[in-house]
């Protein structure tokens, strides 16, 4: 590894990316991050002058869909920024090195850039029995704790690293936990989604590089620029929701007309993500635009709040498709029956109090005659 | 003609603010439950039309939100009145901290719920069991306000809902807040069924005019009950 780290711009220039495309990328990223136009210059300057970010990228219990999301990013610079051009010294899926060389690579980063390198994590960490996820004879927890000790910040890619995702779904056999529940003392950025949008991933990296600090985060440590609004509130089908026009089944007329997918179990109203604005695959589409309800993949515990095609989650122990409202309705009927039974019993048991209350007397009145 | 000659006196039990609170609350809860259920399960009574002609679902949600604000401030007022009102509306009636309150709860269960003993319950305002149930409903009010305004805060920039924004991450996300909001709605519905029935029941059995007392404020109370009430010591709330 060379001592002088080339800047991001120097790297992409070598790949034949024009100055114009580079500036376009900087402007787009500034817009995505919700920054004012004056900050475009800051981003350009940072990417031109600052050395690449030293990064160690770990894969723990995951499916690599976060990496896949990035590889599939259609914008060349977006794909490059994480996969090639930040100094990705250790990335299990993509690095050429293996075995001892791979181990040496990430140990070299830790030794060379203490307090400067970023740890990026894909996947959850098993805590029930650490042996469920071991690399090079060491457990995920040990590797992570060692790497995090001297890092600058931690980026948790995707739902696995941010909230546990499918591994942490009930019954969670490996005791899978997200990154922020395993480590402490370092800032963790949860870049939610299963997978997160590639442009969002790039935006987070650019922010880290440009401003040397972590982006503004919400209460769940998600970057506010991308996760402050619900899919529902940015949905192009929202007008149909307010008008009360809903798809009732996937093959009805409403589905053809593009009505709201609320009744098909769309989790848009309870999901914070940028799918409705940035969209996927270079802004071509996103699930709802393609006629499928949002499954809430950027929310903690979305696997346990299923089924996907049901508005309210099923309640455990009452059988599939038994929602709070179905149980409530049952309890309501039971209460009415109970009340009716009580009324009957009252008339039997309290007969004396009702008909012969104390000091009741019969008085003859002229009207009675 | 049958005449019952029990020495009775009229007692002003429910002051005007309490009665006003009750009916505003009843109105709000009814509106919130109906609109809330419709929001959860919107009926499909329109099709083959375009969105720009209609806004009925938005209106239903608007009614839900307006009722929620009214309900919330009404609830805050009732808490205040628990410190400012008369002896029957004070906060200490609702939280069974005293031994005699638990004794009365057991008595009410025996006399009115299970109907295994026959005797008179001495309370003039709410009996101890009713008060305790109201305390639980106040907790449900609070949770319903927290989850409701918590979910609302995402689409509002105003001060009040923002104060509740923390509840959503605390519960682990909007999905959990919404689920809890749905479950608690049934608490209101079950309460209303039992509450209305019991008003009829008590009016029927006790003949103190409990139903109309929430309109006029006065109840008929037997003289011996009033005497025992006046003789109550500090150990027991005079309710």
Task: Evaluate whether residue B31 is within a structural domain.
Answer: yes
- Residue A321 with chain B: CB contacts under 8 Å: none
Query: What is the ipTM, given to two decimal places?
Result: 0.86
Out of A28-32, A123-127, B56-60, least confident range: A28-32
Taking an 8 Å cut-off on Cβ atoms, the answer to whether A262 and B174 are in contact is no
Overall number of domains in chain B: 1
Of the CA atoms within 13 Å of residue B174, those in its CB half-sphere come to 24
Stretch 62-101 of chain B: residues touching chain A, C-beta under 8 Å: none
> In this structure, are residues A161 and A152 in contact, taking their beta carbons and an 8 Å threshold?
no
Taking an 8 Å cut-off on Cβ atoms, the answer to whether B176 and A301 are in contact is yes
What CATH number is attached to the domain comprising B192?
Answer: 1.20.950.20
pLDDT for the residue A1: 42
Does the pLDDT of residue A369 top 60, yes or no? no
Provide mean pLDDT across the span A82-104.
73
Q: To the nearest whole number, what is the mean pLDDT of chain A?
A: 86
Q: Identify the helix (H) or strand (E) that includes residue A44.
A: helix A38-49
Task: Evaluate whether residue B225 is within a structural domain.
Answer: no
Task: Note down the domain range covering A208.
Answer: 8-226
Task: Evaluate whether residue B32 is within a structural domain.
Answer: yes
Q: Three-state DSSP class for A301? A: coil
For residue range A243-257, list pLDDT tens digits in order.
Answer: 999 999 999 999 999
Of A233, A313, A335, Cβ closest to residue B179: A313
pLDDT for the residue A102: 83
- Residue B46 with chain A: CB contacts under 8 Å: 243-245
SS (H, E, C) A167-218: HHCCCCCCCEECHHHHCCCCCEEEECCCCCCHHHHHHHHHHHHHHCCCCCEC
Show Cβ contacts of residue A338 under 8 Å, excluding neighbours closer than 6 positions: none
Task: Evaluate whether residue A144 is within a structural domain.
Answer: yes
Task: Note down the domain range covering B24.
Answer: 15-200
Task: Evaluate whether residue B185 is within a structural domain.
Answer: yes
Q: pLDDT > 70: what percent of chain A?
A: 92
- Residue A335 with chain B: CB contacts under 8 Å: 190, 193-194
> In this structure, are residues B25 and B71 in contact, taking their beta carbons and an 8 Å threshold?
yes
- The rounded distance, in Å, linking the Cα atoms of A250 and B82 is 53
pLDDT for the residue A2: 47
- Residue A246 with chain B: CB contacts under 8 Å: 42, 44
Of B40, B57, B205, Cβ closest to residue A243: B57
Task: Evaluate whether residue A183 is within a structural domain.
Answer: yes
Overall number of domains in chain A: 1
- Residue A300 with chain B: CB contacts under 8 Å: 172-173
Taking an 8 Å cut-off on Cβ atoms, the answer to whether A360 and B3 are in contact is yes
Task: Evaluate whether residue B3 is within a structural domain.
Answer: no
Does the pLDDT of residue A158 top 90, yes or no? yes
pLDDT for the residue A91: 75
Provide mean pLDDT across the span B42-49.
82
Stretch 101-120 of chain B: residues touching chain A, C-beta under 8 Å: 113, 115, 118
Q: Is B48 on the interface with A (CB under 8 A)?
A: yes
Question: What are the structure tokens assigned to A78, written together?
Answer: 């977006």
What CATH number is attached to the domain comprising A178?
Answer: 3.40.50.700
Does the pLDDT of residue A72 top 80, yes or no? no
SS (H, E, C) chain B: CEEECCCEEEEECCCHHHHHHHHHHHHHHHHHHHHHHHHHCCCCCCCCCCHHHCCHHHHHHHHHHHHHHHHHHHHHHHHHHHHHCCCCCCHHHCCCCCHHHHHHHHHHHHHHHCCCCCCCCCCCCCCHHHHHHHHHHHHHHHHHHHHHHHHHHHHCCCHHHHCCCCHHHHHCCHHHHHHHHHHHHHHHHHHHHHHHHHHHHHHHHHCCCHHHHHHHCEEEEEHHHHHHHHCCCCCCCCC
Task: Evaluate whether residue B140 is within a structural domain.
Answer: yes
Crossing angle for the helix pair A19-32 and A198-211, nearest 10 degrees?
100
Out of A119-123, A185-189, B120-124, least confident range: B120-124
Q: Is B6 on the interface with A (CB under 8 A)?
A: yes
CA distance B235 to chain A (A): 31
Provide mean pLDDT across the span A150-158.
93
Out of A42-56, A224-238, B153-167, B178-192, least confident range: A42-56
Does the pLDDT of residue A359 top 90, yes or no? no
Provide mean pLDDT across the span A186-208.
90
Q: Which residue has the tokens 């499954």?
A: A295
Question: What are the structure tokens assigned to A242, written together?
Answer: 């307010």
With 0-12 / 13-18 / 19 or more C-beta atoms within 10 angstroms meaning exposed / middle / buried, residue A337 is: exposed
Interface mutation vs chain A, best among B45, B154, B201, most A CBs within 10 Å? B154
Taking an 8 Å cut-off on Cβ atoms, the answer to whether A312 and B182 are in contact is yes
- Residue B41 with chain A: CB contacts under 8 Å: 311, 325
Show Cβ contacts of residue B190 under 8 Å, excluding neighbours closer than 6 positions: A328, A331, A332, A335
Task: Evaluate whether residue B206 is within a structural domain.
Answer: no
CA distance B93 to chain A (A): 26
Of A272, A301, A368, Cβ closest to residue B1: A368
For residue range A224-244, list pLDDT tens digits in order.
Answer: 999 989 999 999 999 999 999
Q: What are phi and psi of B90, to 5 degrees?
A: -70, 155
Q: Which residue has the tokens 């029927």?
A: B204
Of B57, B194, B197, Cβ closest to residue A241: B57
pLDDT band at A86 (very low <50, low <70, confident <90, very high): low
Query: How far separated are the first and last CA of chain A, in Å rounded?
Result: 117
Task: Evaluate whether residue B113 is within a structural domain.
Answer: yes
Q: What is the dihedral of CA B157, B161, B163, B169, to 10 degrees?
A: -90
**pTM (two decimals):** 0.87
Of A233, A336, A360, Cβ closest to residue B2: A360
């Amino acid at each position: 590894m060379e001592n002088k780290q080339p800047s991001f711009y120097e790297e992409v220039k070598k790949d034949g990316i024009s100055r114009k495309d580079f500036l376009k990328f900087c402007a787009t990223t500034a817009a995505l991050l919700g920054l004012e136009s004056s900050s475009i210059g800051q981003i350009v300057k940072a990417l031109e002058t600052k050395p690449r970010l030293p990064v160690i990228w770990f894969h723990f219990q995951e499916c690599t869909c976060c990496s896949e999301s990035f590889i599939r990013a259609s914008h060349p610079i977006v794909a490059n920024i994480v996969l090639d051009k930040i100094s990705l010294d250790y990335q299990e899926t993509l690095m050429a090195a293996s075995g001892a060389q791979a181990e040496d690579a990430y140990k070299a980063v830790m030794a060379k850039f203490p307090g400067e390198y970023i740890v990026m994590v894909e996947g959850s960490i098993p805590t029930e029995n650490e042996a469920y996820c071991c690399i090079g004879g060491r457990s995920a927890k040990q590797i992570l704790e060692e790497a995090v000790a001297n890092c600058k910040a931690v980026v948790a890619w995707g739902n696995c690293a941010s909230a546990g995702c499918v591994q942490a779904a009930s019954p969670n056999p490996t005791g899978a936990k997200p990154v922020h529940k395993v480590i402490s003392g370092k800032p963790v950025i949860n870049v939610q989604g299963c997978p997160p949008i590639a442009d969002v991933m790039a935006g987070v990296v650019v922010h880290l590089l440009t401003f040397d600090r972590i982006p503004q985060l919400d209460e769940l440590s998600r970057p506010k620029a991308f996760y402050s609004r619900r899919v529902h509130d940015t949905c192009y089908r929202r007008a149909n929701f307010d008008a009360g026009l809903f798809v009732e089944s996937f093959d009805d007329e409403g589905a053809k007309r593009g009505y709201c997918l609320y009744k098909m179990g769309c989790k848009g109203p309870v999901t914070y993500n940028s799918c409705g604005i940035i969209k996927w695959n270079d802004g071509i589409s996103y699930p709802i635009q393609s006629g499928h309800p949002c499954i809430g993949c950027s929310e903690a515990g979305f696997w346990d709040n299923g089924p996907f095609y049901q508005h309210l989650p099923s309640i455990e122990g009452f059988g599939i498709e038994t929602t709070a409202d179905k149980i409530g309705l049952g309890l309501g009927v039971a209460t009415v029956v109970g009340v009716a039974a009580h009324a009957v019993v009252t008339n039997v048991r309290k007969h004396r109090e009702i008909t012969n209350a104390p000091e009741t007397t019969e008085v003859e009145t002229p009207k009675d005659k | 003609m049958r005449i019952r000659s029990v020495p009775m006196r009229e007692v002003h039990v429910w002051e005007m603010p309490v009665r006003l609170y009750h009916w505003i609350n009843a109105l709000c809860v009814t509106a919130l439950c109906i609109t809330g259920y419709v929001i959860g399960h919107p009926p499909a009574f329109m099709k083959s039309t375009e969105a720009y002609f209609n806004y009925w679902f938005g209106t239903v949600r608007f009614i839900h939100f307006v009722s929620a604000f009214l309900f919330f401030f009404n609830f805050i007022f009732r808490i205040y009145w628990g410190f400012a009102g008369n002896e029957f509306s004070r906060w200490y009636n609702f939280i069974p901290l005293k031994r005699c309150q638990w004794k009365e709860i057991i008595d009410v269960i025996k006399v009115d719920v299970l109907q295994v003993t026959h005797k008179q319950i001495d309370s003039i305002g709410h009996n101890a069991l009713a008060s305790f149930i109201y305390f639980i409903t106040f907790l449900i009010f609070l949770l319903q306000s927290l989850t409701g305004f918590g979910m609302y805060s995402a689409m509002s920039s105003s001060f009040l809902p923002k104060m509740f924004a923390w509840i959503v991450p605390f519960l682990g996300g909007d999905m959990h807040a919404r689920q809890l909001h749905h479950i608690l709605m049934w608490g209101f519905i079950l309460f209303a069924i039992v509450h209305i029935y019991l008003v009829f029941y008590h009016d029927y059995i006790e003949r103190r005019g409990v139903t109309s007392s929430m309109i006029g404020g006065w109840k008929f109370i037997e003289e011996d009950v009033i005497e025992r009430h006046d003789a109550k010591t500090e150990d027991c709330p005079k309710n």
